[in-house]
Structure 1
Amino acid sequence: MSEGSLVSMSKYIPFLKAKSNETQALEELYKKDATIFTQITPFFDIPRESNNQTMENVLNKAHSFKKRLDNKALFKNMEFYIDNYDLDDEILIDGVEQYEYILSLFRDYLYIPVIGINRLEKHNKSVYDSLSINGGKLAIRLVAEDIESYKITKMHLLKMMAIIRNLKVEQLHLIIDLRYIQPTDIKRLTDMAEYFILNVNKDFHFDKCIISASSIPANISSLLETYQRKSFTRAEWKIWDTLVNEKKIGNIIYGDYGIVSPDYSDIDLDPKLFRKVSAPKV
């Protein structure tokens, strides 16, 4: 990973798909405020192209995204998380573990690699191997199922920490990614997140704790019809606000998926459906 200057204490983590329109949006923000990347740290998920994933599809997505970054000098100094969560990580790239290949592809960028307790062992190992040589920051990404039982997840985290403490890790970030949330689940997930965060902070040290979610389902037509205008509760904001302002749990960084579903793929959506969807400012 290279070194740059646009790194600071982020206030917001936008979870984005690694696509040209997402980087274009970041470019526009940068034009308006050249310090924007000291306030936000994008999290890029490489999107799947179809349900029948192939090595060629994965290569196309990864290289297209890198080409986009290569074309703009500002991205050389932008710190970002990158993950292949949406992809079938059993797919090797010319015999190389998929995430290992992706990290190598972006080696000249300020990326933060991501591991998880529900990820393949070879995925996590590719990150450990990279950090043992190059050092850097590291993120552990948990999903809703991972925080249902703190006792079980704690055992997994202890095993991870035994490895991490022997690596050249500069910072360790915890990401609780609740992904798509139904309105009826807001209280349950808020209570679950509160219990988990309070306990994990007692047992482990994380330099950053991030909570993210989305109110947008994979099939947006289940939320609104084409050309329809509709208001709805942003569950992700409600959960973060409750944890920070009501439960008084400090130092939780807010993240969301904007107006894109966590389960988005390039074949799922009709672009016309986005015309009447808006997101609040953070």
Structure 2
Amino acid sequence: MKHILLITLLIPFISFSQTPITDANFHQAIETCLSTNPVDGLCYDCEYGAMPDWDVSNVTDMSNAFKNSDFNGDISNWDVSNVTHMSKMFFYALNFNQDIGDWDVSSVADMSEMFAVCINFNQDIGNWNVSNVTNMRSLFGFTHDFNQDIGNWDVSNVTDMKGMFHSTWSFDQDIGNWDVSNVTDMNGMFLESVFNQNIGNWDVSYVTDMEFMFMDAASFNQDISGWCVEKIQELPYNFSTGCPLLPDYYPQWGVECLVGINNEKVNDNLIYPNPTESAITIDIESDKIKEINIYNQFSQKVFKT
């Protein structure tokens, strides 16, 4: 009698784990992956796996990540919520033009030169939460194609906008409602750009450097005569050389700003009792007043906070 022997082979399942991505190895991981897959980042065989699948949730510094690279891969699903530095992240990444509009950049403080010379980038990033960014120096410098609506960005904490739109050959979006009240440097901000939108209501009272701001901005001719520029005593060097900006539209350099210079509701502001010999109450419908100067009917300053 023949007996049938059933033999079951048990083959253990072998899993291959990828090396976690942290600040310690992030830049090395980028270099390793791009050495084999420089354009799409699909380096499945490397220890980190394909770049689109990376868990970068523990990375805080992505500065220079794709600088001078040919990269144009899909990294739309990256969790960048803990990143604080994106300086030069896509600097001179000539090919990059991927949708990263859903990124959570709410922790980022430094975006200086992030897209500088990333000439093909033109994706919608209008919903980015940039409220913690302080440095936007040359953010879009030389981005020849970029022309997206970023008018709703909260830039109220930004202090440096030097060269932000320098040589942007396409950007001409409405950013007139931006709160730039903390910016101190606007040197070359629109240098050699095509920008021509109304920014006459900007509060630039803290700005100390406007040299080259509109130099060779061949289209700009908006009325900025209402700007408070008391910290800048004279026409800045090459402020609008080569720009059609009319002299009548210039701000009054070095002139002390009065209440209402930035379209506050002067007629609705109340000072009472009047006259007074001691305390007065001022009702002003604004939470952005940094300083209050009160003048009498002879234009003499009688009070300053």
**Could you tell me the TM-score, scaled by structure 2's length?**
0.24
| Higher-helix-fraction structure | 1
**Could you tell me the TM-score, scaled by structure 1's length?**
0.26
Ranked by relative contact order (alpha carbons within 8 Å, sequence separation 6 or more), the top structure is: 1
**Pair member with larger Rg:** 2
